[in-house]
Amino acid sequence: MNLFREIYQSIVRRDSLSTDKGKSELVFLNVWLHIHPAKVKKEHMKFRHTFYLGFVTFFLFLILVTTGIVLMVYYRPFPPQAYQDMKDLEFVVFMGPFLRAMHRWSAHAMVVCVFLHMCRVFYTGSYKKPRQFNWVVGVMLLLLTLGLSFTGYLLPWDQLAYWAITVGSNIGSYAPLVGGQLREWLLGGHSVGEAALVRFYVLHVAVLPSAIILLTIVHLWRVRKDGGLSRPVWTLKKDKPQDLVTIGAPVGAAALKTSAASPSKTYGLMEVVTGKPIFETITPEEEEDTVFSYPYAFVREAVALMVTVTGIMMVSLFFHAPLEELANPAKTPNPAKAPWYFLGLQELVSHSAMLGGVVAPALMVLALLAIPYIDRNPSRRISDRKWAIWLFTIFVVANLILIVVGTFFRGPGWALVPPWVHVVAGAE
Amino acid sequence: MERRLQQAFFGLSILALVLIVAAAWQANTPSWKTYQHNFLQLEAQGEPNEVTKAAVLATPPEIHQVILTGLQRVDRCTTCHLGVEDPTMKNAPEPFRYHQGLGPHTPSRFGCTICHGGQGLATDTNGAHGKVDFWPNPLLNKDYIRASCGRCHKEGDVPGVPELTEGRRLFESQGCRGCHKLNGVGGSIGPDLTAEGANHRSPDWLERHFLTPNAVSAGSAMPNFHFNNEQAKQLTYFMLSLTSEEMGSYYSSVRLIPGPEYGRQLFVEKNCIACHNIGGVGAKTGPNLAGVTKAHSAQWLDEQLVNPELVYPGSSMPAYDLDANARKALLSFLNTATADDAQLILSNRTKALTPEDVAIESGHQAYARFGCVGCHGADLQGGVANPNAQGGEVPSLLHLSDDYTKDEVLAVIRNGRAPPLDNPNGPTPPLYMPSWKKVLSDEDINHIADFLWSKQQKKKADSW
């Protein structure tokens, strides 16, 4: 018995959870949890502050990794076996359709959640100093998410996949000078074929996931280092100048005197140093407003996780992932559409290839990356940021309108057809 | 609040568990398992021995599949159609009934979908029968299943499928190749038909198309050939068989069924009668071939045809390059060949043709085969509608020699020609004379001209 206890205690080395010490040790003695602070501000946990969108996105990613790994077991990335494997998943593999549906719907949901998360961060002004670069990391994560979704789109090797990728990669090829090269490099040829499938597979299961995991680590690490989440806008007080504090000293302690470094002395890392912190500091009265991460933050995150998982499972139980005919380069569907999140661009391309293929995407990405550096207004209050809010809202709404028009209002020949009108394709 | 959250977490976890169980239940109760269960009951019914009965009933459910690399497909139809190869299931209800009259076409070698269509990979009824979205190849209507024979048997007669032979003959004799390419030969006014069957058009569509082309594809340049219903069906059979899929060597080897007809053709072609005789009729250099199939085993004869010297050292019979099917065909001809056959073959051989006759006949064949017939008519009468061309129709060729020299005609065949317009501002006529120089050899073109000249009707002398 003693041996078992010893083994248990060698693994879980914290004190009992009934003590505050135990609660904080749960967090900072655990490699998986220590990204959390031991204590969090109550206001950070408010649902209407973040809608837990970052968490939901992360949980969706976990579902995608899990289901994706299982799907890999059943998948061969070359045509036409790839398509046959889809059929096998559909008809033979135990719970195959459910698995595929979960992967598919989580992927779509992740694109949506990343975007909504970005909107939340913008509207709360949470990209402002010192979080500018974390916004940039976030934009890169958005691009990686789109890349993962796009590369995954081809893998079933059906008509939907083939033509969506053909159209999508054509949009990219409008970029001057590099566009054609880029497309050829991505597809391994002039059109979507065997080489493209293998490349997309490698990108989808190895390159992009590694990149997104690395950047997610950076993203979360910086949130933690910036003092946790940004404060809800409604609790913002008047900005006060940052005091000189001693990092690592108890809150409220007087700053240590700084002295010039002696040239003969060697400094170790463990020294107490003096300087301005990069993160938001908290005052003693704010300190009182905090609670232990365990159980308060964790139980909320756990609920968010279960809501995400059950939501996706429920949808997957009733709606199977689509699978069309085997990819046929000789048979173009009319209209051939890119994946839905690129339909805004395709809609623009239908008016001007230069605008939709080059100017709009380049401007969008550059503008998103540059937002924290262009917006030099230090205030996070909505009333102080009318211009920024308006501009961003126009950007979001314009995107939505273009995507909705491209998805639901475009029929054969890219003609404007309302979704309630059923167009019967003419006999060939 | 905290208590509520914990309860919510607990509740949601239970829900997740329920959902997983539901998904597993959904996955574990496919309809094919019910069918297999019912089939086992049916099998066990007639079983007197209790032990065997229990063993039959205890057979675990499993998906049956035939992997047909040569046909590039996997058929899982026998997962539910469990009795197709079991003659005792002759009167069983579907889907368990025995498939009669398959001959050599066993499901283990051919699967089902190569003939029936449908989705071989699917394991639910609607999916397997292809009656779902995004599966272009649903089960063929009973009336058209035999069209699939032509997917492997691409030449000659297919026993039991006269429609196919007749459809092929119509295609070659009605001049379809004038506008349509088939296996690389033909015009390009209409679509290439080499893989028409792979388009999975419905037989109904094809038939209506042959009856009145414009009714199903508006604005089609295809003239109405006034086929009757039967001919439309025959052509539909032929179209359905043109799938142009890659097949393994076994399936492509039966391109031509090795019957006595083909054997006879080979016998003539290889000039066997020059050395051999049948029942005394023919040359006496080689042995009499009457009854030879009774005197020797099939294997012995086959080896003899591959390499005569190996069987009879010093044999003066040359080794012919005959594939396995050709050898089979020859032997099946010899099986029934009589002295009368030999007589007939000899008499055909000796009928002398003048070189002119040969040229005209070969021109006639080329005229039919390459599709001139399609527009200019079997009797050179022309008359196919061609709006806004001079006269509104394709010209007759019966009076060519009045207006053209032979060289001019040769040039038109070689280089093609756009028809002169009725109304210069009107639309371009849909039909035109294609250039044939890349399709036909000069020899063919000369022969066609010879044929045309042989048919010219002299202008009646003015009779005033």
What angle, rounded to 10 degrees, do the helices at B162-173 and B355-369 form?
A: 110
From the list A91, A317, A427, which residue is nearest B217 (CB)? A427
Q: Are A8 and A1 in contact (CB under 8 A)?
A: no
From the list B8, B23, B216, which residue is nearest A317 (CB)? B23
Q: Are residues A60 and A17 part of one domain?
A: no
Q: Are residues B130 and B157 part of one domain?
A: no
Name the 3-class secondary structure at B442: helix
pLDDT over threshold 50, residue B182: yes
**Would you say residue B24 lies in a domain?**
no
**Cβ contact (<8 Å) for B9 and A313?**
no
Q: Are residues A89 and A24 part of one domain?
A: no
**Cβ contact (<8 Å) for A91 and B20?**
no
The amino acid present at A394, given as its one-letter code, is I
A chain contacts of residue B136, beta-carbon cutoff 8 Å = 325
Kindly state whether B20 is in contact with chain A, defined as any CB-CB distance less than 8 angstroms. yes
Q: Are residues B417 and B320 part of one domain?
A: no
Q: What is the pTM of this model?
A: 0.80
B chain contacts of residue A98, beta-carbon cutoff 8 Å = 23, 26-27
Residues B231-283: pLDDT tens digits? Answer: 999 999 999 999 888 888 888 877 777 778 888 888 887 788 888 888 888 88
Partners of B288 in beta bridges: B277
Domain final position from A341, A369, A404 = A341
Kindly state whether B16 is in contact with chain A, defined as any CB-CB distance less than 8 angstroms. yes
**Cβ contact (<8 Å) for B5 and A300?**
yes
Domain final position from B291, B320, B350 = B350
Kindly state whether B1 is in contact with chain A, defined as any CB-CB distance less than 8 angstroms. no
Residues B192-208: pLDDT tens digits? Answer: 999 998 888 889 999 99
Q: Which domain holds residue B444?
A: 355-454
**Would you say residue B440 lies in a domain?**
yes
From the list A92, A95, A306, which residue is nearest B123 (CB)? A92
**Would you say residue A307 lies in a domain?**
yes
Q: Are residues A318 and A217 part of one domain?
A: yes
Kindly state whether B28 is in contact with chain A, defined as any CB-CB distance less than 8 angstroms. yes
**Would you say residue B361 lies in a domain?**
yes
The angle at the Cα of B189, spanning B188 to B194, to the nearest 5 degrees, equals 50
Q: Which domain holds residue A101?
A: 37-232+287-341
Q: Are residues B174 and B120 part of one domain?
A: no
From the list A91, A95, A299, which residue is nearest B122 (CB)? A91
From the list B6, B12, B23, which residue is nearest A98 (CB)? B23
**Would you say residue A337 lies in a domain?**
yes
Partners of B181 in beta bridges: B186
Q: Are residues B135 and B165 part of one domain?
A: no
Res A428: pLDDT: 35
Q: CA of B73, closest CA in chain A: separation in Å?
A: 9
pLDDT over threshold 60, residue B376: yes
CA atoms of B290 and B281, how far apart (whole Å): 10
Q: Are residues A108 and A15 part of one domain?
A: no
CA atoms of B304 and A256, how far apart (whole Å): 110
CA atoms of B131 and A4, how far apart (whole Å): 61
How many domains are contained in chain B?
4
CA atoms of A137 and A143, how far apart (whole Å): 10
Res A132: pLDDT: 92
Q: Are residues B138 and B39 part of one domain?
A: yes
Q: Which chain B residue is nearest to residue A316, measuring alpha carbons?
A: B23
Domain final position from B350, B380, B407 = B350
The amino acid present at B273, given as its one-letter code, is I
H-type alpha helices, A39-128: 47-50, 53-73, 81-91, 96-123
Q: Which chain B residue is nearest to residue A304, measuring alpha carbons?
A: B9
**Would you say residue B177 lies in a domain?**
yes
**Cβ contact (<8 Å) for B63 and A92?**
yes
Q: Are residues A14 and A74 part of one domain?
A: no
Buried b (16+ CB within 10 A) or exposed e, B78-112: bbbbbbbeeeebeebeebbbbbeeeeeeebeebbb
Best-predicted range by mean pLDDT (A311-315, B138-142, B417-421): A311-315
Q: Are residues A146 and A69 part of one domain?
A: yes
**Would you say residue B290 lies in a domain?**
yes
Which of B43, B245, B249 lies closest to B137, judged by CA? B245
B chain contacts of residue A84, beta-carbon cutoff 8 Å = 74, 121
Kindly state whether A95 is in contact with chain B, defined as any CB-CB distance less than 8 angstroms. yes
**Would you say residue A125 lies in a domain?**
yes
Residues B217-237: pLDDT tens digits? Answer: 887 888 888 899 999 999 999
Cβ contacts from A onto B, under 8 A: 76
Q: Are residues B359 and B326 part of one domain?
A: no
From the list B13, B28, B121, which residue is nearest A91 (CB)? B121
**Would you say residue B201 lies in a domain?**
yes
**Cβ contact (<8 Å) for B13 and A94?**
no
Share of chain B above pLDDT 90, in %: 31
**Cβ contact (<8 Å) for A316 and B217?**
no
**Cβ contact (<8 Å) for A428 and B8?**
no
CA atoms of A216 and A55, how far apart (whole Å): 12
**Would you say residue A394 lies in a domain?**
no
From the list A88, A95, A307, which residue is nearest B12 (CB)? A307
**Would you say residue B241 lies in a domain?**
yes
Q: What CATH number corresponds to the domain at position A215?
A: 1.20.810.10
How many domains are contained in chain A?
2
Q: Are residues A124 and A56 part of one domain?
A: yes
Q: Which chain A residue is nearest to residue B62, measuring alpha carbons?
A: A92
**Pairing mode of beta strands B281-282, A290-292:** unpaired
What is the total residue count of chain B? 464
Domain final position from B252, B271, B296 = B252
Q: What CATH number corresponds to the domain at position B333?
A: 1.10.760.10
Mean pLDDT, chain A cut into blocks of 10 residues (428 residues total): 90 89 88 86 88 96 97 94 94 95 97 97 91 95 96 94 91 82 90 94 97 96 86 69 54 59 54 65 72 90 96 95 91 89 90 86 93 90 90 95 92 85 53
Kindly state whether B352 is in contact with chain A, defined as any CB-CB distance less than 8 angstroms. no
Kindly state whether A85 is in contact with chain B, defined as any CB-CB distance less than 8 angstroms. no
A chain contacts of residue B122, beta-carbon cutoff 8 Å = 87, 90-91
Give the residue, A42 or B35, on which the prediction is more confident.
B35
Kindly state whether B353 is in contact with chain A, defined as any CB-CB distance less than 8 angstroms. no
Q: Are residues B126 and B197 part of one domain?
A: no
**Cβ contact (<8 Å) for B15 and A310?**
yes
Q: Are residues A46 and A12 part of one domain?
A: no
Kindly state whether B218 is in contact with chain A, defined as any CB-CB distance less than 8 angstroms. yes
**Would you say residue B18 lies in a domain?**
no
Compute the mean pLDDT over every residue in chain B, rounded to the nearest whole number.
86
Which of A44, A42, A38 lies closest to A23, judged by CA? A38
Q: Are residues A201 and A138 part of one domain?
A: yes
Kindly state whether A81 is in contact with chain B, defined as any CB-CB distance less than 8 angstroms. no
Q: Are residues A332 and A303 part of one domain?
A: yes
* ipTM of the shown complex: 0.86
Q: Are residues B436 and B366 part of one domain?
A: yes
Res A130: pLDDT: 85
Q: Are residues A14 and A159 part of one domain?
A: no
Best-predicted range by mean pLDDT (A341-350, B37-46, B75-84): B75-84
Q: Which chain B residue is nearest to residue A83, measuring alpha carbons?
A: B121
Q: Are residues A24 and A95 part of one domain?
A: no
Res A426: pLDDT: 42
**Would you say residue A274 lies in a domain?**
no
Q: Are residues B391 and B339 part of one domain?
A: no
**Cβ contact (<8 Å) for A317 and B22?**
yes
